[in-house]
Amino acid sequence: MNQTSVGMNSLWKVFTTTIGKKAVMAATGGVLLLFVIAHMAGNLQMFLGWGDINNYADLLKSHREFLWPFRVFLATCLVLHVSTGSFLAIDNRRKRGHSYEVKKLVGASFASQTMWISGLIIFCFIVYHLLHFTLGVTNPEYLTFRDAHDRPDVYRMIVTAFSTAGTVCLYALGVATLGFHLSHGVRAMVESLGLRMETWASRIDKTSLVVACLLFLGFASVPLAVLMGLLQLK
């Protein structure tokens, strides 16, 4: 037998191709997407009242054996997404060689041209968000709030934080950028994973916009509701 293998003879080689790298972007972006959808659904429990959101937060935090592996998994996806995305952004730019004198955006959305910039803004926002609520660096008093059942008082933390217009603006900008990233990101993800075929293409493109808008509205609703006085400390 004298058969030689053609093409990819190790899984590693897949990731040396541009399609392999985009599969990494899509898979990690997909995990992050599922996470933000679940995160938004969790946040919306603010509208159910004091008890529900604190129950939910307590449920998550009391299962450290799941919480920490999940955090590590999510952080790994984010690191892979940011590093592969940054590599591609720089590498892709080089592939043009000489730039065009007349630059015209043909057939492409603005979001599709600025994924790296929107991604970097989201990254900064994530860091700020973690320092703000999770790690208690910017406002250490938040972590001392306790409710009637001596659980962390997430409801009070959120109402306190979003009573200032500046913070609401910052969060609104952050989640708007996320929506902007995903308006292109969802359809790109489906394309990269090889599932945006023929008649599905236009439906997926529309779904991408809808998902992005719903996420923006879902996330922005809580800070805005607090600012407008719809969610108050009882």
- Could you tell me where the DSSP H helices lie in 48-102? 50-61, 64-94
Tokens encoding 181: 């990233």
Binding mask 184-203 for another protein (x = CB under 8 A): x--xx-xxxxxxxxx-xx--
Length in residues, the chain: 234
Structure tokens at 158: 């959120």
Burial of 56 (0-12, 13-18, 19+ CB in 10 A): middle
- 116 near ligand HEM, judged by CB under 6 A: yes
Residue type, 47: F
| Whole-number Cα distances in Å, 160 to 49, 109, 145, 209, 231 | 15, 38, 10, 32, 10
* Residue 65 main-chain phi, psi, to 5 deg: -70, -20
Q: Work out how close the CB of 24 gets to ligand HEM at its nearest, in angstroms, rounded to a whole number.
A: 9
- 152: β partners: 146
Determine the Cα–Cα distance for residues 187 and 181; give it in Å rounded to an integer: 11
Q: Applying CB under 8 A, does 232 fall inside the site for another protein?
A: no
Nearer to ligand HEM, 20 or 152 (CB): 20
Provide, rounded to whole angstroms, the least separation between the CB of residue 81 and another protein.
14
Question: Which of 25/121 has CB closer to another protein?
Answer: 25
Name which position in 40, 119, 174, 180 contacts ligand HEM (CB under 6 A): 119
- Residue 81 contacts ligand HEM per CB under 6 A: yes
Least distance from another protein to the Cβ atom of residue 38, Å: 25
Positions in the binding site for another protein (CB under 8 A): 2-11, 13-14, 16-23, 88, 91-109, 112-113, 115, 184, 187-188, 190-198, 200-201
Q: List residues near ligand HEM by CB under 6 A.
A: 22, 25-26, 29-30, 32-33, 36, 81-82, 85-86, 88-89, 115-116, 119-120, 122-123, 181-182, 185-186, 188-189, 192
